[in-house]
Structure 1
Amino acid sequence: MLYRLIDWLNELGPRFYTAFIEADRWKLYLQGLGRTLEMTLVALVMGVILGVVVAVIRAAHDQQRAGRRKNPLLAILNFICKIYTTVIRGTPMMVQLLIWTFVIFPSIRDKILVGIIGLGINSGAYVAEIVRGGLMSVDGGQMEAGRSLGLGYLDTMRFIVVPQAFKNILPSLGNELITLFKDTSLVQAIGGMELVYYASTIGGRTFDYMPPYIGIAVMYLCIVVVLTWLQGKLERRLRQSDRR
């Protein structure tokens, strides 16, 4: 048993050399990692913008004063936003990507672009609920105080409510970023040339899938560890600013 383990360990060196060093294959991994990070950042910006818009609409609808006539336009927008968040959060990410690729945008050849759209819209639904929860967690008196000072609804949200809500939702937003980064691996299923795609390609060329997949798993893990560390550092800095 021990000899078999030693022989297996001795074989790992040449296998990893073939998967990463031979024919400069490491460049393909870096190219895939670069595209993965690019997809994550663009989709995150798209998701945050979309999520904030949806959250503000839903929060504004929920905060309408009782006894007053409801804004019909706001009610329609709120209904659309509820359908959006329900559908996106209630269906698998993989199914959404397939629909975006083969149903909505079948003629687009740039699968990375389609993947960014799918990831961004999916992330927007989760960010919307995260932000809405943060906005609703701020005491309602803060909104009343801002309005009593003559600020409009948007200015009150911008200068008073949102800064307080941001501290409450930061951990959830950080987790959403990490989840979005890992979900980019699903884009390989629609032909997107990202990290998993290149690992699968190299495994097919060398007829050995274990080293490429183990390698990219380590890459994903390292990036997630760094993101988690940055998130914790930012949270500690915000807590220190509160004490001051």
Structure 2
Amino acid sequence: MGEQLWQTRWNTVLDNVQVVNDPADEQRLLAALSTPERATVLGFVNAHALNLVAGDGEFCRTLAAADVLLRDGSGMAILYRRIGLAPGLNMNGTDFIPRLLARYKGRRVAFWGTQEPALSAAAARSEALWGVKPVSLHDGFAEVDTYLALAQALQPELIVLGMGMPKQEAVAARLAASGVPCLIVCGGAILDFLGGKVARAPGWLRRLGGEWVFRLVKEPRRLFMRYVVGNPMFLLRTGMFSPRPAPGGEDKRRGNSQNRRHR
């Protein structure tokens, strides 16, 4: 792939990432996401996402089209500092999605992704901890039309997708286009975490930005390409990356969720 193409794709995604500056900014975002007026897609951008974007134009378009994109992980913080921008808070989905679930207490939630028994365990834990009402559970291996039919029939107010990239982003885009008025969250491994299939790293290691090391030790075969190969590739591209000014005057990459549109 030509150098210009992957840089263009990175810029396309970064133009749409919302930096959350502080806890007050996060609370405003939570409030907005808990009262969507139309189908709204929430996605997360980490080093793995940008590695996939570099080689996949369709995924680039789908990811960049999300209504809200948040910076996730220490790799993205390195990238932001490299291009002279403050990275803001680390809005990783594993921590942010539970805060969002708490905002949906008493409301209809669908959990689609992973497989049993982690799926049922994740739904039961979410119901117990945050008072949501699970209305649909389905593994993450069905055709897109299956999820579209479930959404139309059950009308959930929140859909949590735990299918991994790039499938969950493609499913989210189709769900949003179907017009079901709900929040659709691209949650990666969130259902595995909530369901107890995957353990979190100790707090001190998470604070140092090293949760990926813990996950690699736990699942070396599955995560070898993502971390052992992917992380150096991401850092190499970070060193070569040339950002362009974001469109619309003030650079959205500098933050301020008040200026981010919630379509």
TM over 0.5: no
User: TM-score, normalising length from structure 1?
Assistant: 0.23
User: TM-score, normalising length from structure 2?
Assistant: 0.22
Greater strand percent: which structure? Answer: 2
Greater helix percent: which structure? Answer: 1
